[in-house]
Amino acid sequence: MFLSYEQLTTQQLIPIPQLSITNLPVRNGQLDWKGTFRNGKKEGEWVWYWDNGQLEGKGTFRNDKKEGLWKSYDKNGEVNSKYAGFYKNGKKVSD
């Protein structure tokens, strides 16, 4: 089964067991994000990039919820403290 760009970039993700997506070039040929779905949920390390190729954010998902240290940056590479911090079971618990 092949997934269209629209299917992958909406919140209506198709649950496919063990689907791993690691190179999805979009937005001017730049990598948009990379991560793994397990049983239709985000799992493990995920990384997002701005359309200029700069790192936007990265962190770990456990059972589709943010877990552990998350880093977030604006388009100029400056830390975005609104989203950066430590997460437990999907909730931000500290900066």
Average pLDDT over residues 63-81: 94
Query: What does the pLDDT read at residue 15?
Result: 52
Q: Cα–Cα–Cα angle for 30, 48, 58, nearest 5°?
A: 145
Distances (CA, A) of 82 to 32, 66, 85: 21, 14, 8
Contact assessment for residue 65 and residue 78, using Cβ atoms and an 8 Å cutoff:
no
pLDDT at 73 (0 to 100): 96
Cα dihedral 74, 77, 82, 85 in deg (nearest 10): 140
Cβ-proximal residues to 93 (8 Å cutoff; 6+ apart), any chain: 85, 86, 87
pLDDT band at residue 52 using 50, 70 and 90 as cut-offs? confident
Percent above pLDDT 90 for the chain: 45
pLDDT confidence of 93, banded at 50, 70, 90?
Answer: very high
